[in-house]
Structure 1
Amino acid sequence: MKITFLNSKGEITAQLEEAAKAFTAETGIEMEIIPCPAGTSPFETASAMYSSGSAPSILMVDPNDVPKFTDKVLDLSQENWVSLAMPGALDAGSVDGKVLAMPLTVEGYGIIANKKTIETASGAAFDPSTVKTYSDLETLFGKISAAGVAPVKICQENWSLGAHLFSQVYINQSSDPAAVQKFVDDLKAGSVKLMDNKVFVDFMKTFDLMIANNYGKADPLNFRYEEEPLLLTSGQAAMWYQGNWTWPNFVDSAAADDMDYVFLPLVLGDDANAYGNSQIIAGVSKEMMIDKEQNSPEQQEAAKQFLNWLVTSDAGQKTIAVDMKLIPAFTGFAYAPEDPLARSILTYLEAGNTMPTIATLPADHWEKIGGILQKYLAEQSAGKGNHETLAQEIETYWKNT
């Protein structure tokens, strides 16, 4: 018996392969991990596999992809792990009252800060909760820069810019998800002028501040994501807009669990009480579904067994929380992630200071919007960026979606 697993979370590939070996040793079920090609969305990869008649037994996709596979995957509503899910963890993976996907992890993102670097550069203790406005961030950047340290590194990857950074323009519109969705729908209808939208204008001001203080500003696109954590661990840069999924990369760059890294919100504008200026974004980031079209009933049952093993067995729980260093989306885990990024997110979660992710963006959003922002990043780094041109390009994307 052999099943396949499409993995769209590259930073846990090694840990997932080890989990597959452990599962095989325990059950006798062979398992092949298939990585998504770099630069290709999970939806595109999974769709291509379906078209070629080689659909994976388990497909790991982004939350907004779940409704696109409704007719191709099993209803998992009766699985044992459903009752163990944290409140809200099944929402993005459910369609018409049916649970179609198992959440892998709760993840969060914002500005990752190396407290030691900031405190050494500024000569004072650093409390991330004191950065509540654009002006606060600007002042902090100035202190860090004066000490000869780059205040920030902007991740130049299209998925980071399109799926994460720019998503704040949508999410920060309102604490009401319905209002956020209306804003997106109005963009599709062509009735939104981004240059008249306060959140967008404030976002661009913060983005420009980051670009002006970016490590490697002379050639901002000539970096590799895997190498960027080293800039923070070595003290060359103080901050990085990313998520807690990057901790394995930090470990590869000689970071340790006892190091003091914290999250800051991406602050927009000078109203300290504005929605988003005290919150980071957190939610289920990856969903796992089981194919019912091209895998045999026996393979489907084996795939169900693996998902249950991940959540209910000691080895599976350890894989998620300790080896993969992920925040579980389920209760009753015997293990908890020990790294500082996960701990920082848990602090925001416990205080109620998180904003939900947006799960209704088109599959090509991160690629197209990310590409537009990459172009702007390069242009603005050379002093040639234009907000109106950027806004028009984004509006055109939405009108053509």
Structure 2
Amino acid sequence: MLTSYRRVLTRPGTLLFSATGLVARLPISMVGLGIVLLISTATGSYGVAGAVSAAYMLTNAVLAILQGRMVDRLGQARVLSVAAAAFGVTMVLLVVSVRADWPTAASFLFAATAGGTLPQVGSCVRARWSHALDDPREVQTAFAIEAVADEVVFMVGPIVITVLATAWDPAAGLAVAVVACVGGTLAFCAQRATEPPAHPHHETSGPRPPMPWATVAPLTVVAASLGVLFGAAEVTTVAFSAEQGSPGWAGGLLALWALGSMVAGLLSGAVSWRRGPTIRVRWGAVGMLAAMVPLHFVGTIWLMGVVLLVGGFAIAPTLIASLSLTEGTVPSGRLTEGMAILQTGLVAGVAPGATVAGLVIDAHGASAAYLVCVAAGLVGALAAQTLPRDRPPT
């Protein structure tokens, strides 16, 4: 297994751009929570804090596709460096507006601007891997590396920002997120040797290559369904732990879920698959659905940990196959945009999933809320079955 990873990470520049991309992505799991901690501490209102955080997440989801399109046209370094600077400035202004007790509208404005300018490094890292590697099997391994990196981001980020906010200052966690984003993004952009070429569009160059929506649209539905599933599972697991009288176990249960996904991602990247990515997306989505069904019936903490650990094995392989299918289908001139569309679907599903699960928890308890995850998994599995068949090799 290590041979597969060593082969791609020893290519010139790949280890460095992957590592800096990991640092630059830390704010993905930090800023939303950090905004809630900052504003709720300053105002005492979780409603306002949640609304401001939602404004940040909404603009991030909506404008990610536009940023991806600009990256394809103008190049990664030009777009990401400007976005990182804008993100850093607006995040500082957000903290200042809260500390100086400016009108709440200012906090909404700065949060929305920060969300819209957050550099889409995740999509750019994967596009850079696609440019650096020629063998589809090596690209699959590289995407597995980034899937594991994403799991690290979502395991480490919330812990760091919560500890800093509670033990030191609510703004400290956001400061770390800004430094990681700006510093990591600029270091990533400085590596020009591995940057994919830009594809500027001119009137004389003809129309842009078409986006293969027959593939991208179902994949986006799968990604959005996974986002709903993630958001619902996180909130429901916290409620389940509280109902069992062990609220402190919520983080451990979710960490086991992420651990299962991380291990599966590592294994997936080392395997030479005989089946194409379309088949793997279809089966992976069905696996996600199957993994969610038992959660409704679990009644103990230890058994929930086992079920979540096993269920996590379906996450990373499904996402890796989805990205591999995107990479193999979307024209190179729109690859970052295509990656961003999937990322937008994933991010956009989290908040609705958490909201619906919260309403079900209030009305019927945690076990019933796991059915929200089942419903999301069912939608994703059905969407995956509509994907066009893999094209035969030429």
TM-score (norm. length: structure 1): 0.29
Higher strand share: 1
Higher helix share: 2
TM-score (norm. length: structure 2): 0.29
